[in-house]
């Protein structure tokens, strides 16, 4: 047997074991144009190397501070598998990372992804990476690298998992950390697209388990199919918030993800402060009422599991509130004054209080 024959047989055996190197190579060629659309001036090199290079502009900030984050999409992927629709979960992946570093005032620079599946499906992966590239364009960052792992016998057929990694930049003197939040400050909530990427284990239990719905069934309250509603991508708040930061003295921010308003707002509050949220001060998308009613979910659990229509929160001085609301509206984002900051009575008092509407 020749050396060439040995190479061919080796490739055939690896393919028989579940790993197709030729598909992996083809994937790189198919995703290069998607990644190149996101490139910005700091990118060096291209897709396919051992590492991704990015040059910082020494004139961009005086005291450059890098901010990083990593996240996934969770069991929302299960909905994508059922619906066989994969072009929006990539946006979710970028959003979950980009919105997190945005809380600190950081502008996203570059993003990397990790996708693992049992057998490479080029068409599925191309859709996923299309979404990732779209998310990167919305966030203003470059998709400069990633890893696709073919792992036979590790994932069920047709399923995969993915994670995202982002790095952003902020001037060390301009980090937003919530330290200056004080009594009397106004809490502004930015609308969500719906569920975003949290609470999907409970959502799937209710929708697919208890209600026995399919992705093509209509949710009358929402005016669309189950798949259309549940696969709405997480809103990326980067453009509107970065503009706000140039014009308004934002004291603190929170990305409303797992844990909802109840768990995420206290993460940014000084110890002496309590956030008082006024229930009914914003429009709640119908999907939340649908889940609450059909799933028999308590008010307390709704606020801990879901964003309930508020995907991002800002803390500003009362004098800046109207300017912030107007700028959000000008960029197509509905924003609401959803509460105020008050003095905390003692250390045993919760740092968030949701004030219920009077029934009178």
* CATH class of the domain defined by 186-355: alpha beta
204 by Cβ neighbours in 10 Å (0-12 / 13-18 / 19+) ranks as middle
User: From CA 174, how far away is CA 199, in angstroms rounded?
Assistant: 33
pLDDT of res. 193: 95
Write down the pTM of the prediction.
Answer: 0.92
Q: Which CATH superfamily is domain 3-172 in?
A: PurM-like, N-terminal domain (3.30.1330.10)
pLDDT of res. 10: 52
Six token digits for residue 355 = 């004030």
Cβ-based neighbour number of residue 202 at 10 Å: 18
User: From CA 257, how far away is CA 307, in angstroms rounded?
Assistant: 7
User: From CA 338, how far away is CA 310, in angstroms rounded?
Assistant: 9
2 three-state secondary structure: coil
Angle of helix 76-83 versus helix 89-102 axis, rounded to 10: 160
Long-range contacts of 204-211 (CB under 8 A, 24+ apart): 204/75, 204/78, 204/79, 205/295, 206/291, 206/294, 206/295, 207/291, 208/82, 210/294, 210/295, 211/294
Residue count of the chain, please give it: 360
User: From CA 357, how far away is CA 252, in angstroms rounded?
Assistant: 26
Encode burial over 73-102: b for 16+ CB neighbours within 10 A, e otherwise: bbbbbbbbbbbeebbbbbbbbbbbbbbbbb
User: From CA 131, how far away is CA 193, in angstroms rounded?
Assistant: 16
Beta bridge partners of 340: 186, 276
pLDDT of res. 25: 73
Residue ranges covered by each domain of the chain: 3-172, 186-355
pLDDT of res. 46: 74
pLDDT of the chain along its 360 residues, tens only? 454 455 555 557 666 666 676 776 787 778 788 888 888 888 887 777 788 888 888 888 889 999 999 999 999 999 999 999 999 999 999 999 999 999 999 999 999 999 999 999 999 999 999 999 999 999 999 999 999 999 999 999 999 999 999 999 999 999 999 999 999 999 999 999 999 999 999 999 999 999 999 999 999 999 999 999 999 999 999 999 999 999 999 999 999 999 999 999 999 999 999 999 999 999 999 999 999 999 999 999 999 999 999 999 999 999 999 999 999 999 999 999 999 999 999 888 999 999 987 544
């Amino acid at each position: 047997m020749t050396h060439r024959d040995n190479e061919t047989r080796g490739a055939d055996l690896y393919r028989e074991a579940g790993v197709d190197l030729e598909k992996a190579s083809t994937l790189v060629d198919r995703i290069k144009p998607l990644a190149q659309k996101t490139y910005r001036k700091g990118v060096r090199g291209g897709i396919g190397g051992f590492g991704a290079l990015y040059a910082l502009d020494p004139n961009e900030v005086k005291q450059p501070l890098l901010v990083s984050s990593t996240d996934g999409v969770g069991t929302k992927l299960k909905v994508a598998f059922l619906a066989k629709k994969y072009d929006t979960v990539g946006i979710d992946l970028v959003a979950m990372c980009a919105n997190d570093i945005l809380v600190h005032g950081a502008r996203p620079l570059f993003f990397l992804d990790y996708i693992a599946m049992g057998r490479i499906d080029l068409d599925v992966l191309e859709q996923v990476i299309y979404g990732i590239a779209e998310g990167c364009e919305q966030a203003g960052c470059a998709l400069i690298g990633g890893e696709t792992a073919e792992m036979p016998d590790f994932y069920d057929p047709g399923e995969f998992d993915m994670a995202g990694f982002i790095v952003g930049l902020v001037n060390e003197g301009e980090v937003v950390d919530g330290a200056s939040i004080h009594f009397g400050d106004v809490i502004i909530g930015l609308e969500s697209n719906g569920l975003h990427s949290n609470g999907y284990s409970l959502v799937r239990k209710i929708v697919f388990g208890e209600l026995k719905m399919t992705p093509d069934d209509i949710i009358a309250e929402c005016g669309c199919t189950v798949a259309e509603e549940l696969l709405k991508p997480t809103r990326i708040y980067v453009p509107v918030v970065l503009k706000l930061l140039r014009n308004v003295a934002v004291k603190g921010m929170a990305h409303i993800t797992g844990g909802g308003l109840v768990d995420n707002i206290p993460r940014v509050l000084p110890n002496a402060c309590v956030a008082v949220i006024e229930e009914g001060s914003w429009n709640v998308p119908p999907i939340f009422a649908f889940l609450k009613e059909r799933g028999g979910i308590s008010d307390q659990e709704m606020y801990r599991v879901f964003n309930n229509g508020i995907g991002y929160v800002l803390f500003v001085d009362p004098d800046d509130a109207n300017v912030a609301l107007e700028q959000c509206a000008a960029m197509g984002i509905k924003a609401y004054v959803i509460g105020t900051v008050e003095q905390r009575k003692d250390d045993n008092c919760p740092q968030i209080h949701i004030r219920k509407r009077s029934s009178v």
